[in-house]
Amino acid sequence: MTMKKDAHISDQDLLRAADGELFSSEASRIHSHLETCWTCRTRRMELDKTIADFVRAQRGSTENELPAIEGPRALLRARMKQIQSAEHPTLWQSMRQVMFHPRSPVYAGIIFGAVLLVIFVMHFSMQQVRAESIPDASLTPGATRTISRNEICSVAPTEDFYPIPATLAYRVFGKYRIHNPSPRSYEVDYLISPALGGADDIRNLWPQPYASGEWNAHVKDALENYLHDQVCAGKLDLQTAQRDIAVNWIAAYQKYFRTDRPLPVHVAFSIDPPWEE
């Protein structure tokens, strides 16, 4: 663990925490720190955004499958045998024989680097669903409208539904480079929900996976409902609720429900319907 008292969390520990690789005591310590440290929460959001950018870049490639490590290893062994069978090896052949010998530190470094590259790419590929669940902060920073707590609490979240016009929905999809979106696959969602004072503004909208993936629209609806209840009960400041859900709604869910994964009761929770043409 690379976090000391009153110190910030390292990027490595933020990634380990996001992937659930920490012991419960370490995870609890990091979550407690994130509750009070804006700097670390912002860095975590930036890491999530970096992952999202990487995944979008990977989608532009026509080859999504990574080659197995056995292929490059077999090729190296074949080249090594060719060098060893040569009667009069050249200087370059001799150098290659040394470099690619199984006991050579250089050979070990090459294999180790290849394995690290595979792990690195696989790690970010596995973040695809998680990254899609978090909007691009540069495209969807969130926006609020002027509204009082009494006005917000006079309407239940399930009654405060603001349908998105089709023209605006297609603008949102276009902004995220999603062409021909499948009906019921997304919810054109408010980052800050209207029930929490979110504005009907394109800066507050993004195409969120409706039911696919772990962190989907159902889970976010459950968080929105909880925050609305806490604000109206006087247990949470409205501005705090708006800020937490805008910066990173997944981190907010983990903070308020004290869990690394969505609760089973929230899997089918729903307030807003999916997008349909």
For the chain, which residues make up each domain, given as ranges?
70-125, 137-277
Between 209 and 273, residue with greater pLDDT: 209
pTM assigned to the model: 0.52
Share of the chain above pLDDT 70, in %: 66
What is the structure's pLDDT at 207?
A: 93
Mean pLDDT check: name the lowest of 129-133, 212-216, 225-229.
Answer: 129-133
Q: At what angle do helices 38-59 and 105-125 cross, to 10 degrees?
A: 100
Sorting pLDDT into bands at 50, 70 and 90, what band is 265? Answer: very high
Q: Give mean pLDDT, residues 65-70.
A: 57
Say how far apart CA 119 and CA 109 lie, in whole Å: 15
Q: Between vectors from CA 140 to CA 137 and to CA 142, what angle results, nearest 5°?
A: 100
What is the structure's pLDDT at 131?
A: 36
What is the structure's pLDDT at 87?
A: 52
How many other CB atoms are found less than 10 A from the CB of residue 55? 18
What is the structure's pLDDT at 104?
A: 62
What is the structure's pLDDT at 41?
A: 79
The contacts of residue 80 (CB under 8 Å, 6+ apart) are: 97, 100, 101, 102
Share of the chain above pLDDT 90, in %: 35
What is the structure's pLDDT at 129?
A: 34
Query: In a 10 Å sphere around its CB, with 0-12 CB exposed, 13-18 middle and 19+ buried, how is residue 236 labelled?
Result: middle
Average pLDDT of every residue of the chain: 78
What is the structure's pLDDT at 226?
A: 95
Paired with 198 in beta bridges are 144
Closest C-alpha among 254, 240, 250 to residue 47: 250
pLDDT at 92 over 60: no
Residue 184 region by backbone torsions, left for phi larger than 0, else alpha for psi between -120 and 50, else beta: left
Q: Give mean pLDDT, residues 20-32.
A: 76
What is the structure's pLDDT at 128?
A: 36
Mean pLDDT check: name the lowest of 12-26, 114-128, 229-243.
Answer: 114-128
pLDDT at 59 over 70: no
Between 186 and 35, residue with greater pLDDT: 186
pLDDT at 55 over 50: yes
pLDDT at 18 over 90: no
pLDDT at 158 over 90: no
